[in-house]
Each structure stands twice: as C-alpha cells, then as structure tokens.
Amino acid sequence: MTRIEFGDIAEQDSLRKLHNLTIDKKPDTEKIPEIKPYKVRFKLDRFWGGMAYSASGGAFGQLQLSMSDLMGDHHLGFSFGVYRELKNSDFVFNYLYLKRRIDYGFGGFYLNDEVIYRLYYSNSLKTEYMRERERDYGIYGILRYPFNKFWRIDWENTIQKYEMRRDWWEDTYWEEEFLPENFQNQFPDYPTYEEEWIYRPQISIVFDNAVYGSVGPLAGWRSTLILNSNYSDNAPTYGLIYGDIRRYIFFFFFYS
C-alpha cells in the first residue's frame, strides 16, 4: 500500500490567512460616505455621422449627436449637415429640461435647401436652368404638460426668417440673384430675392403608448391633433388643423 504525506499543506491554505478570517467581522468604527451636491455632467448618448468629398462638388457631411446627464433631467441635441460651404449648411440645436412634471425646451436652427429647374422652350431647342435657394433660420420653444402616462399637450412657438434667392445658369457658372429680363416679364411673381418674418404658434394634443426600439416604434398607437397658425409680415395669415393616427405592429423577432 502506498502512503502519501500531505505535510503542512492545510496550514498553507490561503483561506486561513488573517485577512480572510476577519473580513466578515463587524467594523469597530462607522464610516459614513461623503455626500456631495449633484452636479450636472453631460455624457454622450448617441453619435452618428458620415463624410464624403468630391473634386467637383466639394465636401459633404452629416453629424448627429445627443447628450444627457445621469439623472435624465437635461437633454441636448445637435445636428449638422455640411454642404460645400458653411453658409449653405444645416445646423440644429435643442435643449430639453425634464426634471419636473412640466417639460420645457428651446432651440435654434439654420436650414438651407436648393432646387434646380430645367427650362424648355416650345419655339427653341435651347435649354436653360434656374436655381432656387431657400434659407430658414430662427428660434423655437416648447412647453409640454402630461395629463397621464399616455396623454399630453404641447405648446410650441417658432420665430423664423425665410429667404428665397433665385439664380440663373450662365453656361459655366451661376449668376446669383439674377434672372433675365424676358423671364421676369413672363413670370413677374418670381423675383430674384424675397424674404419674410414668420411667427408660428402651435398646440398639439398627443396620445402615445408606443413601445420603442433602437430605430423607432415597434408596437402600440400614436395619434396627434395639431392646431397651428401662421403670422407673416409679407403674406396672409392662415390656420391649420391636422390629425395623424398611427398603428405600429410588431411582426416577429430577429435573432442572431
């Protein structure tokens, strides 16, 4: 019969060390953690973007990001769209304060759009081009009061300036804010430049019990009734009543 001697292996067991033997003992003194006032520190929640460059078109890019604090009381959102030059790009900023039952927020925007028209003439084979450049910039605010978990009312106010510029293609370049005399005589309602200041109040009644996923609603209902009015220094005042009802159906799960 073979005999194995273990010697003092049991005495060398790490569990028998003094630190491990006393780790569960009740402390002699009470150590109270230091409590400091809460400080708002924003962390990145979402970041998305892309960029491209063309020798003929220049630089193009899109960037979207959102930030919030640890408690979810403050939300910041940014959106940038770069198109060749900064003056032709898009910028949107918004802030939401969500600490109380009544939520409020504000923001600003600077948006550009461009449309090119190809003009044909019945008595000529010549083709000409006209470009319209729209620019909207301003500020807005929102006040939101929830009646319960699914119903709420939103009150929004927007002040913005609208600008329209029309250009003419001169074979190799755009002649900015210029239209030929014969075109202006035929279409007098199309000036080379126009602008207006706009004030737009809006009230929305919203029902929303939708379940959201990473890219949008997955199931539930969303409905909105919008009452909108538009006041301008250069156009007639008008009102708008708009309703929207949506049903989201989740068909099946995806697995990976």
Share of the chain above pLDDT 90, in %: 55
Q: Where are the beta strands (DSSP E) in 99-175?
A: 103-121, 124-146, 151-169, 174-175
What are the residue boundaries of the structural domains of the chain, listed by start? 39-99
pLDDT at 14: 59
Higher pLDDT, 220 or 6: 220
Q: Give Cα 252 distance to the centre of its chain.
A: 29
99-138 pLDDT per residue, tens: 999 999 999 999 999 999 998 877 777 788 999 999 999 9
Whole-model pTM? 0.76
190-213 pLDDT per residue, tens: 899 999 999 999 999 999 999 988
d(CA 76, CA 222): 24
- Residues 69 and 89: beta-carbon distance below 8 Å: no
d(CA 22, CA 14): 13
Cα dihedral: 244, 250, 255, 256 (round 10): -10
d(CA 233, CA 160): 11
d(CA 69, CA 76): 9
